[in-house]
């Protein structure tokens, strides 16, 4: 294991302080390192492995597509992309899908669509976007800002549009930022990376109402909280709202890189047109055949029932830890997206102690222990998680 870590550190740019194990393979809700040690998975590759590891039916579908056609570019049609797009439209009640290779790329596309929509409406180049404190939407800078061809770029200026930040669940903090240049409000329905902060009903429905009144586009980033994790297909479906644009990724490929942004008819009809946006790989048959199968399996295996049935038990176990240990301030979350806010102890330390005892977890923000298990966990898995965490916190 140390040899592999050394090789990686010699050759891979050090932008991550990685945990000191090498993951090798997985089965169900368990992962194994290169020395054979078993770990209970409560991170699912950062919310990716919704169906767990080594799923035979999914792997067979992926292998069959590999033997058929991996890539064909967007210059031609392919059946898996058409079918996966139809499924996403059916699941969301929205109208048009653009497939990407990652979450950040889906966010980029969503922003481009919003800026173009506003530009076509009023011809201005000085639109503003409102985002929220603690939000996370990806790591790219706006690849377009450094793209030389004016025809690709001009309609979307300014590149790093003016962005103002309001606060989650503080409607006035957002209202106060709105002016006639505001073209979009982007937010996660449940903030992940920033510390597991779910939007409350009053806030998100208030945002939705203002957006409708002022024709400001509501962009919901469901890359982490979407796809069944919080107890509905997409988390926004638990509120009386509907986004104009939404993003999805992470669980969509169960590990095969794919994302998408999805538009309602209003935006699809009046924003990005032929030539305005593109990607070489995005929506290729391998990724979309995988996504199509993932969506099929999530549904046919009644994964939503598992999330809904086990959420109260998961929350009860986590609440028991909150009650028992002073260093846990509170639990926050929805469904299988849960965080424990810690005091006096760094979440990274808890994750490391968990690794020693055979569980993989995540941190979020500066003081939150984040749990994103595969959606196929059982009551036994939750009991095992509780036992290990009880030991870790006791130590
Ligand atoms: C992970 C994440 C992204 C970025 O996705 P990548 O695939 O890492 O580019 C964007 N938004 C949210 C809410 C995320 O959790």
Report the atom number in ligand 1 closest to the C-alpha of 107.
Answer: 10
Q: How far apart (Å, rounded) are the C-alpha atoms in residues 259 and 69?
A: 19
Same structural domain, 327 and 225: no
Q: How far apart (Å, rounded) are the C-alpha atoms in residues 246 and 146?
A: 25
User: At residue 182, what are phi and psi to the nearest 5 degrees?
Assistant: -65, 120
Residue from 43, 44, 101, 103 whose mutation best tests the ligand 1 pocket (most atoms within 8 A of CB): 103
Question: What pLDDT shows up at residue 162?
Answer: 84
Domain end position, chosen among 300, 335, 357: 300
Domain end position, chosen among 283, 300, 317: 300
In a domain? residue 188: yes
Same structural domain, 44 and 83: no
Report the atom number in ligand 1 closest to the C-alpha of 138.
Answer: 4
Q: Whose CA is nearest to atom 11 of ligand 1?
A: 137
Same structural domain, 295 and 315: no
Residue from 110, 225, 249, 281 whose mutation best tests the ligand 1 pocket (most atoms within 8 A of CB): 249
Same structural domain, 260 and 132: yes
107 Cα: distance to centroid of ligand 1 (angstroms): 8
Strand pairing category for 30-33 and 23-27: antiparallel
103 lines ligand 1 (CB under 6 A): yes
The three-state DSSP-derived secondary structure of the chain is CHHHHHHHHHHCCCCCCCCCCCEEEEEECEEEECCCCEEEECCHHHHCCCCCECCHHHHHHHHHHHHHCCCCCCCCCCHHHHHHHHHHHHHHCCCEEEEECCHHHHHHHHHHHHHHHHHHHHCCCCCEEEEECCCCCCCCCCHHHHCCCHHHHHHHCCCCCEEEEECCCCHHHHHCCCCCCEEEEEEECEECCCCCEECCHHHHHHHHHHHHHHCCEEEEECCCCCCCCCCCCCHHHHCCCCCCEEEECHHHHCCCCCEEEEECHHHHHCCCCCCCCCCCCCCCHHHHHHHHHHHHHHHHCCHHHHHHHHHHHHHHHHHHHHHHCCCEEEEEEECCEEEEEECCCCHHHHHHHHHHHCEECEEECCCEEEECCCCCCCHHHHHHHHHHHHHHHHC
Same structural domain, 363 and 217: no
Q: Whose CA is nearest to atom 10 of ligand 1?
A: 137
Question: What pLDDT shows up at residue 319?
Answer: 98
In a domain? residue 64: no
Question: What pLDDT shows up at residue 154?
Answer: 74
**Selection from 76, 90, 61, 92 nearest residue 288 by Cα:** 61
In a domain? residue 61: no
Same structural domain, 277 and 386: no
Question: What pLDDT shows up at residue 387?
Answer: 98
94 Cα: distance to centroid of ligand 1 (angstroms): 21
224 lines ligand 1 (CB under 6 A): yes
Report the atom number in ligand 1 closest to the C-alpha of 192.
Answer: 15
For every one of its 395 residues, what pLDDT tens digit does the chain have, with 9 covering 90 and above? 999 999 999 999 999 999 999 999 999 999 999 999 999 999 999 999 999 999 999 999 999 999 999 999 999 999 999 999 999 999 999 999 999 999 999 999 999 999 999 999 999 999 999 999 898 888 887 546 556 676 767 777 666 678 888 999 999 999 999 999 999 999 999 999 999 999 999 999 999 999 999 999 999 999 999 999 999 999 999 999 999 999 999 999 999 999 999 999 999 999 999 999 999 999 999 999 999 999 999 999 999 999 999 999 999 999 999 999 999 999 999 999 999 999 999 999 999 999 999 999 999 999 999 999 999 999 999 999 999 999 999 99
108 lines ligand 1 (CB under 6 A): no
Cβ count near 354 (within 10 Å): 23
In a domain? residue 62: no
Q: How far apart (Å, rounded) are the C-alpha atoms in residues 268 and 111?
A: 13
101: CATH:
3.40.640.10
Residues 223, 247: contact at Cβ < 8 Å?
yes
Number of domains in the chain: 2
298 Cα: distance to centroid of ligand 1 (angstroms): 21
Longest dimension (CA), the chain: 61
109 lines ligand 1 (CB under 6 A): no
Question: What pLDDT shows up at residue 142?
Answer: 52
pTM for the model stands at: 0.96
Same structural domain, 339 and 259: no
Q: How far apart (Å, rounded) are the C-alpha atoms in residues 88 and 234?
A: 11
Q: How far apart (Å, rounded) are the C-alpha atoms in residues 161 and 175?
A: 19
320: CATH:
3.90.1150.10
Same structural domain, 7 and 86: no
In a domain? residue 59: no
In a domain? residue 171: yes
In a domain? residue 60: no
Question: What pLDDT shows up at residue 148?
Answer: 65
Same structural domain, 29 and 129: no
Q: Whose CA is nearest to atom 7 of ligand 1?
A: 103
Question: What pLDDT shows up at residue 155?
Answer: 79
Domain assignment of residue 219, given as a range: 69-300
Same structural domain, 245 and 322: no
Domain end position, chosen among 281, 300, 319: 300
Report the atom number in ligand 1 closest to the C-alpha of 102.
Answer: 7
213 Cα: distance to centroid of ligand 1 (angstroms): 29
222 lines ligand 1 (CB under 6 A): no
Same structural domain, 250 and 335: no
Q: Could you tell me the two tokens for 135?
A: 């939000």
Residues 29, 376: contact at Cβ < 8 Å?
yes
221 lines ligand 1 (CB under 6 A): yes
In a domain? residue 366: yes
Same structural domain, 281 and 307: no
Residue from 43, 45, 108, 136 whose mutation best tests the ligand 1 pocket (most atoms within 8 A of CB): 136
């Amino acid at each position: 294991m140390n040899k592999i870590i050394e090789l990686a550190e010699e050759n891979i740019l050090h932008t991550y302080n990685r945990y000191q194990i090498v993951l090798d393979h997985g089965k169900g809700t368990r992962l194994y390192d290169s020395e054979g040690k078993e770990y209970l998975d409560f991170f699912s590759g950062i919310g990716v492995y919704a169906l767990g590891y080594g799923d035979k039916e999914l792997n067979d579908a992926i292998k069959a597509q590999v033997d058929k056609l991996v890539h064909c570019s967007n210059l031609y049609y392919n059946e898996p992309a058409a079918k996966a797009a139809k499924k996403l439209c059916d699941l969301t009640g929205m109208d048009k899908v653009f497939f990407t290779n990652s979450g950040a790329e889906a966010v980029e596309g969503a922003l481009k669509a919003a800026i173009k929509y506003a530009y076509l409406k009023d011809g201005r180049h000085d639109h503003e976007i409102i985002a929220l404190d603690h939000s996370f939407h990806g790591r790219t800078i706006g690849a377009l800002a450094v793209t030389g061809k004016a025809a690709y770029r001009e309609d979307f200026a300014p590149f790093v549009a003016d962005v103002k930040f309001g606060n989650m669940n503080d409607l006035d903090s957002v209202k106060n930022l709105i002016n006639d240049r505001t073209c979009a409000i982007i937010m996660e329905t449940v903030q992940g990376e920033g510390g597991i902060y779910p939007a409350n009903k009053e806030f998100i429905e208030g945002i939705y109402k203002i957006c409708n009144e002022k024709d400001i586009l509501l962009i919901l980033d469901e890359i982490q909280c979407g796809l069944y994790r919080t107890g509905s297909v997409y988390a926004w479906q638990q509120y009386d709202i509907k986004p104009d644009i939404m993003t999805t990724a992470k669980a969509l490929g169960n590990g095969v890189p794919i994302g998408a942004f999805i538009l309602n008819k209003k935006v699809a009809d009046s924003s990005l047109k032929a030539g305005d946006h593109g990607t070489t790989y995005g929506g290729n048959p391998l990724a979309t055949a995988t996504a199509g199968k993932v969506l099929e399996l999530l549904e046919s295996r009644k994964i939503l029932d598992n999330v809904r049935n086990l959420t109260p038990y998961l929350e009860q176990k986590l609440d028991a830890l909150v009650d028992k240990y002073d260093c846990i301030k509170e639990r926050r979350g929805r469904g299988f997206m849960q965080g424990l806010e810690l005091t006096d102890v760094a979440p990274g330390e808890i994750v490391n102690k968990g690794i020693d005892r055979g569980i993989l977890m995540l941190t979020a923000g500066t003081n939150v222990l984040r749990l994103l298990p595969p959606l196929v966990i059982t009551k036994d898995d939750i009991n095992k998680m509780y036992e290990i965490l009880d030991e870790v916190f006791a130590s």
